[in-house]
């Protein structure tokens, strides 16, 4: 079974703090993704990575950065957290070459910025 894990299920941070969200997958997947999930908006792509040290902006990258130093780990960084970044954050991974395009999701991190 593919396993995607995220470092925290719940996180509370203060405005202006630097926040790190970690995601690890154990199936040697090349592609990894960060989404935020908000009611009525579905999932929106923040950043994705095709492979180690590669990153691409998604639809809502403002206020976020990412790091992928190892294939299994993809980190989302909020440089200076703001209240409008309170949300559920989902990580996903995907293997290349199968032609199936299925993404496997982590359990999510519910971040509250006060």
Tokens at 7, concatenated: 């470092």
Judged by beta carbon, residue 37 or residue 67, the one nearer another protein is 37
To another protein, the closest distance from the beta carbon of 19 in angstroms equals: 22
Binding residues for another protein, per CB under 8 A? Answer: 4, 33, 35, 40-45, 48, 56, 58, 90, 100-103, 105-108
**Beta carbon of residue 62, minimum distance to another protein (angstroms, whole number):** 17
Distance, CA of 48 to CA of 33 (rounded, Å)? 4
Nearest residue (CB) to another protein, 4 versus 76: 4
- The nearest distance, CB 21 to another protein, in angstroms, is 16
Q: Which two tokens stand for residue 63?
A: 């206020």
Residue 78 or residue 91: which is nearer to another protein going by CB? 91
Looking only at the bridges linking them, the beta strands covering 109-113 and 10-13 are parallel
C-beta closer to another protein: residue 74 or 81: 74
Q: How far is the CB of 72 from another protein (least distance, A)?
A: 17
- Both tokens assigned to 11: 């996180």
List the beta strands (DSSP E) in 9-97. Answer: 10-13, 19-25, 31-38, 42-49, 56-57, 64-70, 73-78, 87-94
Angle at 48 between CA 73 and CA 89, to 5 degrees: 75
């Amino acid at each position: 079974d593919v396993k995607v894990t995220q470092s925290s299920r719940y996180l509370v941070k203060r405005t202006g703090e630097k926040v790190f969200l970690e995601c690890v997958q154990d199936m040697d997947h090349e592609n990894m993704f960060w989404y935020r999930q908000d009611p009525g908006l579905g999932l929106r792509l923040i950043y994705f990575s095709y492979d180690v040290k590669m990153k691409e902006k998604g639809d809502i990258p403002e206020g976020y950065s990412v790091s992928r130093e190892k294939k299994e780990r993809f980190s989302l960084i909020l440089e200076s957290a703001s209240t409008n970044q309170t949300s559920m954050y989902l990580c996903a991974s995907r293997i290349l070459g199968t032609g199936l395009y299925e993404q496997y999701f982590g359990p999510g991190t519910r971040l509250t910025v006060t």
